[in-house]
Chains A and B, each alone.
Chain A
Amino acid sequence: DGGITQSPKYLFRKEGQNVTLSCEQNLNHDAMYWYRQDPGQGLRLIYYSQIVNDFQKGDIAEGYSVSREKKESFPLTVTSAQKNPTAFYLCASSIAGRTQYFGPGTRLLVL
C-alpha cells in the first residue's frame, strides 16, 4: 500500500526535552511538508522540503528543526525552544504543485 506513515500516534514531552516525530512516505514524492493543526487555526506550515538535502522554513518554524537525508523520510524535531508545543502535527507529501497527501498525524502533549 502506498501512503504516508507517522509515528508515534501520541507523544509526551517533558519540560526542556527535545522530541522527534517520524514521517515516512512510499509515494516517491519529492516534496514533503510539516504542518501544525490547532483548533480554529487550520493548518500552519512549519517546514517543507522540495528535494533531498534541502528544506525551507514555513510560517511557524521557530522552535522546530527538520532533516531530509532520504527521499522517503522527513523527521521533525520539536525542540525545548518551542514554548507551546501541544498540538496535532501533520506530515504531507506531494509531487511539486499537485495534490498533497497526508499522514494520520501525531498528537504531542506536554507533561
Chain B
Amino acid sequence: AQSVSQHNHHVILSEAASLELGCNYSYGGTVNLFWYVQYPGQHLQLLLKYFSGDPLVKGIKGFEAEFIKSKFSFNLRKPSVQWSDTAEYFCAVNGFTSGTYKYIFGTGTRLKVLA
C-alpha cells in the first residue's frame, strides 16, 4: 500500500538546537517528494521539494532535505532552529498511478521551539 510515515509526532527543541524530522515512504515507481509547513494560523505552504537531480535540496528559511532512494527516505534538517520555526511539518509524496497523479501526506510533526 502507498503510504508516508513521519516518525516523530511531537518534537520540542531549544533555540539553536539542530533538527532532523524523519520521513519514509512506500510507493512503487518514480516519485516527487515535498515538505510542507503550517505555521500557527497560516496557510499550508511549501518548504522544499524534490523532483529530480541533486538529492540534497535546499528550501526556504535554512531548511534542507536529502532524498535517499535506497532507504525510501526524505528527512528534513535544519542546523539551528529558531523560535519562529514552531509549526507543524508535513512530508508528502506524489506519483503517477492508474492514469492519475496521487498525493499522499504523512500525519505531520508538531515542532515546538523554546526561546
A43 at the interface (CB under 8 A from B): yes
Distance, CA A104 to CA B9, complexed state (A):
23
B103 lies within 8 A of A102 (CB): no
Contact of A56 with B100 at beta-carbon distance under 8 Å, contacts A42-B106, A97-B32, A99-B34 already known: yes
Chain A-chain B contacts (Cβ-Cβ < 8 Å), number = 44
Chain A nearest CB, measured from B25 CB (Å): 13
Specify the chain A residue showing the minimal Cβ separation from B49.
A99
B56 at the interface (CB under 8 A from A): no
A41 lies within 8 A of B107 (CB): yes
B43 lies within 8 A of A102 (CB): yes
Specify the chain A residue showing the minimal Cβ separation from B9.
A40
B94 at the interface (CB under 8 A from A): yes
Chain A nearest CB, measured from B32 CB (Å): 7
Report A49-61 CB contacts with B as 1/0, cut-off 8 Å: 0100000100000
Q: B103, B106, B108: which contacts A100 (Cβ < 8 A)?
A: B103
Specify the chain B residue showing the minimal Cβ separation from A6.
B43
Interface residues of A in 63-80 (CB under 8 A from B): none
Report B85-110 CB contacts with A as 1/0, cut-off 8 Å: 00000101010100011010111100
Distance, CA A100 to CA B105, complexed state (A):
12
- What residues of chain A lie closer than 8 Å to B36, measured between beta carbons? 102
A103 at the interface (CB under 8 A from B): yes
B107 lies within 8 A of A45 (CB): no
Chain A nearest CB, measured from B43 CB (Å): 5
Interface residues of A in 23-61 (CB under 8 A from B): 31, 33, 35, 40-45, 50, 56
A108 at the interface (CB under 8 A from B): no
- What residues of chain A lie closer than 8 Å to B84, measured between beta carbons? none
Binding site for B on A (CB under 8 A): 31, 33, 35, 40-45, 50, 56, 90, 96-105
Q: List 22 A-B contacts (CB under 8 A).
A: A33-B103, A35-B105, A40-B108, A41-B107, A42-B106, A42-B108, A43-B44, A43-B92, A43-B105, A45-B103, A56-B100, A90-B44, A97-B32, A97-B96, A98-B32, A100-B34, A100-B92, A101-B46, A102-B44, A103-B43, A104-B42, A105-B44
